[in-house]
Chains A and B, each alone.
Chain A
């Protein structure tokens, strides 16, 4: 990390910059959109932006799935194992 002292403007945050760079790369790996792109020139802001949108998408998916699961729950026996499963899933 210390070896990667890039800009003087940042000064002490050089270590943090490295950490951040690592984290950004980790994030990049998680977000499929960026992962599939040419991953060398993706800027931090782009990664963050994609992460935000990805998280929003996931939220939406979770909501949709919860909805579906709850609907399914209504259709099955409330005492069944599936109900339990569904409930657990929904309650996450």
Chain B
């Protein structure tokens, strides 16, 4: 048998009388009777929402009971006690009005997931002594917070019961909506307690009860509000539940789980590390796309190619800009310019080295070494005859078909030019400078080269480069 408070009086009721959660509530009410968890219909271990629901149920039950200023309060006390006893059985039960860990007023037996209004009622009963608003919040807080540690809640609940109103502030931030609705319900219940005595037969739906309770009194809050609040409450519950979880996790931490902290720190570190790596990989991929003819999948080789390509690109841009500036000038004028600008250009030097290397099989070894070594590691490798040079993959292997000036070098400078031109397929090479340019870059080298390059095996087209030749010769002589 269960002792139920109905209409302000304790009524003995059998467990079977009430619906699932209702009964549980009643059970909770009576300390002597501890309802077995099995009797409680709703799953005990429901998510936070159910907990709130449970609270609602309880609230409904309480609401049905006459909630006088004293009765509810006492009832709550009793409830809390009994509930604690009962809730112990149901781990999932959350105290209907339990602010975060600090205090759980009551652990409602695991009623079916109901609206969160019931708990409000419970709060409300206490509220009568306290601020209504506060109770609302509390009820909200209680609902969600109960999930984590029921036991702790239980302990606190006894304290909470008495201090239910006080705990409100803490839980105020929790589901406001639910609290509000609950509070309203509570109010309505209160007013309609007398009338709701008959409602004690807790139907499954708290709302129904609440509705009935509310109807008689002129609650400012319409049903829709309550529903809205319920929804809000639900959302709030979720939020509060999250808060609960967080608090729970925090509790877990505070419980001395330094290992948890460490593991979490390690996780965080791993995550950040992974994110960083992903970022880098992504950038590597984009870089790979930028580099033409890059078929390397290895990071190091890809970076190598990127470096080379970047250098060659820089050189090319330099050459072209110089060419832009030079072209308007006629050769004669250029002659004066070139020495200044070219002499220092490492790129130029490289270009020269390229030509040397590619060139030809001339004994210009010293030059290539000097020049090529600076930037073009492949320069020596390109010492092939012919228009095509084994340029590095990222080099632009474009023949220079229209290198008329390069063709047939009647004189060595022309050859140089041709070779440079063909070489020019490499971006960095920029050896396509006209002879004037060339030998201005490295006057000494050019001269030596020209002298050495007696017969350049230039298969290039036979353009009348003779014109260049004489010029070159003239210019650099």
A55 in complex: contacting residue of B284, B299, B313, CB < 8 Å: B313
Q: How far is the CA of A27 from the CA of B424 in the complex (A)?
A: 24
Question: Once the chains bind, are A30 and B311 in contact (CB under 8 Å)?
Answer: yes
Chain B residues with CB below 8 A from A61, complex form:
317, 320-321
Known: A23-B304, A81-B405, A84-B405. A58 touches B279 (CB 8 A): no
Q: Hey, which bits of chain A sit against chain B, CB under 8 A?
A: 9, 16, 19-20, 23-24, 26-27, 30-31, 43-45, 48-49, 51-52, 54-56, 58-59, 61-62, 65-66, 68-69, 72-73, 76, 79, 81-82, 84-92
Question: How far apart are the CA atoms of A48 and B277 in the complex, in Å?
Answer: 12
Let me know if B320 and A72 touch, CB within 8 A.
Answer: no
Which residue of B has the minimal Cβ distance to A7?
B273
Please tell me the size bucket of the interface on B: 35 or more
Q: Main SS of chain A's interface residues?
A: helix
A-B contact pairs, 5 of them (CB 8 A): A30-B314, A68-B324, A79-B404, A92-B396, A92-B427
For B280, the chain A residues whose CB sits under 8 A away are 44-45, 48
In the complex, the answer to whether A66 meets B320 with C-beta atoms within 8 Å is: yes
In the complex the two chains form, is B327's CB within 8 Å of A72's CB? yes
A82 touches B314 (CB 8 A): no
B interface SS class: helix
Binary interface encoding of chain B residues 429-457 relative to chain A, with 1 for a CB under 8 A from any of its CBs, else 0: 11011111100000000000000000000
Could you tell me the distance in whole angstroms from the C-beta of A20 to the nearest C-beta in chain B?
A: 6
Q: Verify A92–B310 contact, CB threshold 8 A.
A: no
**A78 closest partner in B (C-beta):** B404
Q: Is B467's CB under 8 angstroms from A79's CB?
A: yes
B324 touches A48 (CB 8 A): no
Residues in A with CB closer than 8 Å to B326 are 82, 85
Name 5 extra pairs, CB < 8 A, besides A9-B273, A82-B327: A30-B307, A72-B324, A88-B403, A88-B432, A89-B320
CB distance from B335 to the nearest CB of A (A): 12
**Distance from A52 Cβ to chain B, minimum over Cβ atoms (Å):** 5
Cβ–Cβ < 8 Å partners of A48 in chain B: 280, 283-284, 286-287
